[in-house]
Structure 1
């Protein structure tokens, strides 16, 4: 088992990486001082594979778990879903020391995490990500939230988990398209702050557990430096200003990782147009994403539509959009005052 410790202003928590951790969750919670009632929040897709082993382990450890299912998918990452979850938690008798275990991908972790941040003004949270994307990105760092019709993640809270349990064995049932979507975030982390990870992915020589740990370490380094997204943490949004707009315009039929892949290529091409990075850097990024099976050309939305969708992006400052752009592999920064014509030109390159 590999352990990564995350420090934050109110304490620290472990990210545990190892096969078989799902069944050990009960023992780990008891060792952390938890007892009695707890809630496993999952969805039917994940639940049919992994809820029973988790519940059995919790019961064997002496805990009293209840399973709560919420609908699967981004369209249900809403305040309505959270409101129903509150009602379920009240009916289940959870008190302020009763942990919520989020068993699922990024959408579920964000939604259950927001409920944990706000139910009874905050209850303990354990993240158990079951997708590659959630393992390397959304389960780490304490950001939780839901969408509004106007855009993604416009309502949320920072909620640090008690622990994150990453069991690579659960990836065995992850559909290939979802695994590829998660690889977009792994590659993104390599571009941000892990040249060795990026180069290993280029060469096709890496161990899965090593890859997970390296990608997670990038997120950990950034969020420890900037736990509340006041500065450096914005670099984790590489590809997201474009990507979130693509997702919204598709009515969330484009997977998040696919949108990030297309958005990352757009960001790299924009950086080349602005003379911030050499063309070879953009070419390497595009080749690796394409070889992973991810889309690299922007979807055929009119540039004006994409810009309008960007207008509610939560990363903006006032009316000013901000873009995370690469200077090289392992070197990115945040830029504003980008001429609209340059953004439109990149969108037209596809």
Structure 2
């Protein structure tokens, strides 16, 4: 689709849609997808530097003119007065904003941002009589496998006795706020994506995998988790919001893959050396403890902890059967998508 000045009108009635987290990987791609489909969109941002990342992403897709169709409001999900302004005349909300960190020193702000921030969004949705809310959670907030289970689904029970990262706990708590809103009359959709792959954010999320491999990452593990392209995530979110489906959660993964295979594919796509040295559980334990010590000494910010170390070895499989039964999406092949992302590096 070429750039254009006027937006295509899908119907006489055009919703005003609010997007939080519009300066992140999912939010920025969501904004582009919504505008391409003629939606009227408002997005909140905290700084000009963050907003420039979204603008750059529009240029990456060769659609810079569409960026001007976003109505930006400087606001914060923890700042009630600014949210009051952001929610004016809104009918639907996509809540993508979240803080991702594995630094134990940031436990309080992670939980405050992800749980209290979501509670604020839910409260405004209820007060403003929002038609429908879509919340972007994570597979980290799904349940824990029991001894007799082989794959995690939307109904797998969360075991509070198990070890979870602060991030996982915060997303689980945020989901509880969304379900509270549902019990009070708000129509909601929760999506739980796996590791989201996409271009434009080399220093965030999965972008750090590409950056690390390009810089010469040497180690890999044999754990397994779910992966999905950001394009699939935003397309599914929008389809669910336009459907009659509500008060449901969906695991969004295209493929369950071994970390070693993902890292090898990234290395091959970037035309750099593969990380061929196996990092044993003992080695990753030493690594996260050293990382934590350096954080305590304020030498560097922690990027690794016991939960992520354990996850790197866990052979966890996630089921996407539910979203297939509802929408039957055609998922982008992960290997092909990695090749495409690599062109941005």
TM-score, with normalisation over the residues of structure 1? 0.33
Q: Which has the higher strand share?
A: 1
Q: Which has the higher helix share?
A: 1
- Larger RCO (CA within 8 A; separation ≥ 6): 2
